[in-house]
């Protein structure tokens, strides 16, 4: 029987250029590879769709040398992951999602049908070398790192392959990652997104204006009437965006729209212009994958009525109205001056005004000079002390980690010690890279904690969860570096370690109005200062308490607090950074 080989769907960006409205998944299994298109001699990622009754067609395609198929084809990863969706699913291509040095393909599943993930690169000889895990909504690990469930032989396969699982989470998003236990560089993943409401969410609309002699900061958030110069007074209750935004021509240099996270969804941005001269539509951005888009002055440099339209990628109007976002605004003619004053007439008044302002400024400067000098000296002193305390946390952390490695070596557990040491090397690099900065992004802080917990998990076998409030932008929110590390370390060493693999550590980051609340909880036997008095762990707690006091001196308008609640069934440590989200 002649084997059926379907042509590959080649695309430079799997989501951005591959999505076609009405494209149906059909009875296929999708595989990703990299090849050289001999027509253009361009090496690029592409997709092969094998029929679900002839999955081995993917191997024949890898050997094919015809012009359309390309040459030098290799799987995207040695895992050679294959995805099967319900045959009726359409418009399923999402945007590629970056995971450090890897890019994971995302699939938009418009109904509640399941998704199946297989790995053709896993077989009976290497199945024990691979593990997988599942993370829901980028916050909860629903399946911890586990062995590949089984081998199966379906879809016309001539030999068994790895069956990673069948997944179904209506209204939610799942990240499924598979990696080698021997080589972390061998890993791949897929994102399945069952969310139905993919309407764009604009979190901020920032307006840039020309600089002038007033000294005002030349940009502002239009959602704040006290700052927006009266250009908007009515706002949509659901989106928070302006309904009557209007400004004089040439008074705005740029509009920046900041989006909520849309990892698996790419957007297109259009601008409809209606002026006395003409009406037209401009595509401002066709393939928006970033979290913002800038609309320059050149798009609205004439008086008239305008409307920004944002939707999922495709031609304008391809999606239902409830999945599109519209932002109307008006560019008004320049204001007409009722009376013009010559420079010669205004010069005496201007001189007198400047002279009065200069005298007031000199008087104010004289009165406050000593006060400002004292305040600056106190702040600099506090910052030096803060840097000193911060510098002591790094060697304290490294000493404790090396002690753990030494314990493993003393137990002759060389394999675990080597694995622990490799994790420690990566973690040390991350800690030292941010060592000269007092504030680091919350994203980097959580990455350090995640790597640390993975490292200690190798030794103690506990579970842990890191949960972040969906309203917090972790990439753009800064926190003091290594702020939670001593408390997480104590939760592991004094909380869950004695439970011999049964304990759980939880890290929760919440937004409480303008406050940022960080909590570390364990379900151990309880921890208090008396338990660790005189031990190395008490040093980390002491440094953290000193650090909170010094932070309050440096950031007086943003006071920090530390509260430790020991209990019979565990300990909760709460750090509150007041006014941190303003």
Q: What tens digit of pLDDT does each residue of 22-72 get?
A: 578 999 999 998 888 777 778 888 888 999 999 999 888 888 766 555 677
Whether residue 149 has pLDDT greater than 60: yes
Task: Report percent pLDDT > 90 for the chain.
Answer: 37
Beta bridge partners of 510: 517
Q: Which region, left, alpha or beta, applies to residue 165 given φ > 0 means left and ψ of -120 to 50 means alpha?
A: left
* DSSP 8-state code for residue 298: G
Phi and psi for 167 in degrees, rounded to 5?
A: -125, 145
- Model pLDDT, residue 291: 86
Beta bridge partners of 187: 179
At a CB cut-off of 8 Å and minimum separation 6, what does 549 contact?
none
- The mean-pLDDT minimum among 211-225, 326-340, 484-498 falls in 326-340
Q: What is the pLDDT of residue 244?
A: 94
- Which residues make Cβ contacts (< 8 Å) with residue 132, sequence separation at least 6? 143, 145, 146, 148, 164, 165, 176, 177, 178, 179
Residue 458: pLDDT band (50, 70, 90) is confident
Answer for the pair 510, 520: CB distance below 8 angstroms, yes or no: no
> CA gyration radius for the chain?
29
- Which of 25-29, 425-429, 445-449 has the least mean pLDDT? 425-429
0.85 exceeded by pTM = no
pLDDT-based confidence at 371, cuts 50/70/90? low
Contact (CB, 8 A) for 90 and 24: yes
Tokens of residue 272, six digits? 């409809």
More confident residue, 292 or 455: 292
Q: What are phi and psi of 312, to 5 degrees?
A: -60, 155
Measured distance CA(49)–CA(192) in Å, rounded:
18
Reported as half-sphere exposure (CB side, CA atoms, 13 A), residue 98 has a value of: 6
pLDDT score for 432: 64
pLDDT of res. 184: 93
Instruction: Give dist(CA 482, CA 444) in Å, integer.
Output: 10
In this structure, of 103-117, 170-184, 298-312, 523-537, the range with the lowest mean pLDDT score is 523-537
Mapped onto helix, strand or coil, the DSSP state of residue 336 is coil
Banded model confidence at residue 534, pLDDT cuts 50, 70, 90: low
Order of all β-strands in the sheet with 202-208: 219-221, 202-208, 254-259, 292-296
CA torsion angle for 377, 383, 388, 390 (degrees, to 10)?
A: 170
Which position has the higher pLDDT, 179 or 549?
Answer: 179
Tell me the HSE value of 287 on the side-chain side, using a 13 A CA sphere: 11
Q: Which of 517, 519, 525 is nearest to 566 (CA)?
A: 525
pLDDT at 350: 76
- Band (461; pLDDT cuts 50, 70, 90): confident
Reported as a pLDDT band with limits 50, 70 and 90, residue 536 is low
| pLDDT at residue 144 in the model | 97
pLDDT for residue 543 is more than 80:
no
Range in 112-116, 317-321, 388-392 the model is least confident about: 388-392
Q: Quick: pLDDT tens for 463-486.
A: 999 999 988 998 889 888 878 888
| pLDDT, tens only, 207-243 | 999 988 777 888 999 988 888 889 999 999 988 899 9
Among 323, 300, 306, smallest CA distance to 254 is for 300
- pLDDT for 573 equals 92
CA distances from 63 to 11, 116, 138, 179, 215 (A): 20, 25, 37, 26, 67
Average pLDDT, stretch 536-553?
74
Domains (range + CATH), the chain: 9-193 (no CATH), 202-332 (2.60.40), 362-577 (3.30.565.10)
Q: Look up residue 32 and give its two tokens.
A: 């990703």
Higher pLDDT, 127 or 550: 127
Give the pLDDT of residue 64: 76
């Amino acid at each position: 029987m002649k084997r059926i080989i379907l042509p590959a769907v080649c695309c430079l960006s799997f989501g951005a250029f591959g999505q076609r409205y009405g494209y149906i998944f059909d009875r296929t299994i999708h595989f990703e590879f990299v090849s050289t298109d001999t027509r253009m001699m361009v090496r690029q990622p592409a997709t092969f769709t094998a029929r679900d009754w002839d999955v081995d067609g993917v191997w024949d395609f890898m050997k094919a040398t015809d012009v359309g198929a390309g040459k030098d084809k290799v799987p995207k990863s040695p895992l050679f992951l294959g995805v099967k969706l319900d045959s009726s699913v359409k418009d399923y291509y999402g945007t590629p999602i970056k995971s450090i040095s890897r890019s994971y393909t995302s699939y938009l599943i418009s109904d509640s049908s399941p998704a199946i993930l297989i790995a053709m690169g896993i077989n009976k000889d290497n199945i024990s070398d691979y593990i997988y895990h599942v993370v829901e909504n980028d916050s909860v690990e629903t399946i911890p790192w586990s062995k590949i469930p089984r081998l199966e032989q379906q879809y016309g396969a001539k030999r068994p392959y790895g069956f990673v699982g069948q997944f179904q989470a209506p209204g939610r998003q799942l990240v499924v990652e598979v990696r080698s236990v021997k080589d972390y560089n061998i890993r791949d993943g897929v994102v399945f997104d069952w969310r139905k409401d993919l309407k764009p969410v604009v979190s901020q609309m920032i307006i840039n204006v020309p600089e002038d002699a007033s000294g005002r900061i030349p940009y502002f958030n239009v959602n704040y009437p006290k700052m927006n110069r009266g250009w908007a007074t009515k706002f949509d209750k659901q989106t928070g965006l302006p309904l009557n935004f209007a400004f004089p021509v040439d008074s705005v240099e740029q509009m920046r729209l900041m989006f909520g996270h849309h990892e698996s969804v790419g957007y297109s941005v259009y601008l409809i212009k209606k002026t006395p001269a003409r009406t037209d539509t401009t595509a401002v951005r066709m393939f928006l994958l970033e979290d913002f888009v800038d609309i320059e002055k050149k798009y609205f440099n004439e008086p008239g009525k305008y409307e920004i339209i944002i939707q999922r990628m495709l031609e304008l109007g391809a999606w239902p109205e409830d999945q599109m976002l519209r932002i109307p605004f008006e560019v008004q003619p320049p204001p007409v001056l009722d009376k013009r004053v010559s420079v010669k007439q205004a010069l005496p008044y201007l001189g007198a005004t400047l002279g009065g302002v200069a005298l007031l400024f000199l008087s104010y400067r004289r009165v406050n000079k000593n006060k400002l000098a004292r305040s600056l000296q106190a702040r600099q002193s506090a910052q030096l002390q803060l840097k000193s305390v911060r510098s002591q946390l790094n060697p304290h952390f490294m000493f404790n980690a090396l002690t753990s490695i030494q314990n493993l070596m003393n137990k002759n557990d060389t394999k675990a010690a080597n694995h622990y040491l490799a994790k420690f090397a990566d973690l040390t690099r991350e800690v030292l890279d941010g060592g000269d900065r007092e504030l680091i992004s919350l994203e980097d802080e959580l990455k350090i904690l995640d790597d640390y917990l993975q490292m200690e998990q190798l030794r103690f076998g506990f579970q842990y969860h890191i949960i972040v409030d969906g309203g917090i932008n972790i990439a753009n929110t800064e926190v003091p570096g290594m702020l939670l590390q001593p408390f997480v370390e104590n939760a592991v060493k004094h909380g869950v370690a004695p439970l011999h693999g049964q304990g759980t550590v939880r890290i929760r980051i919440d937004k409480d109005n303008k406050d940022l609340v960080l909590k570390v909880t364990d379900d151990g036997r309880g921890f208090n200062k008396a338990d660790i008095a005189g031990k190395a762990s008490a040093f980390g707690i002491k440094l953290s308490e000193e650090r909170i006091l010094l932070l309050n001196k440096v950031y007086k308008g943003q006071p920090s607090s530390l509260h430790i609640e020991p209990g019979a069934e565990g300990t909760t440590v709460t750090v509150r950074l007041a006014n941190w989200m303003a």
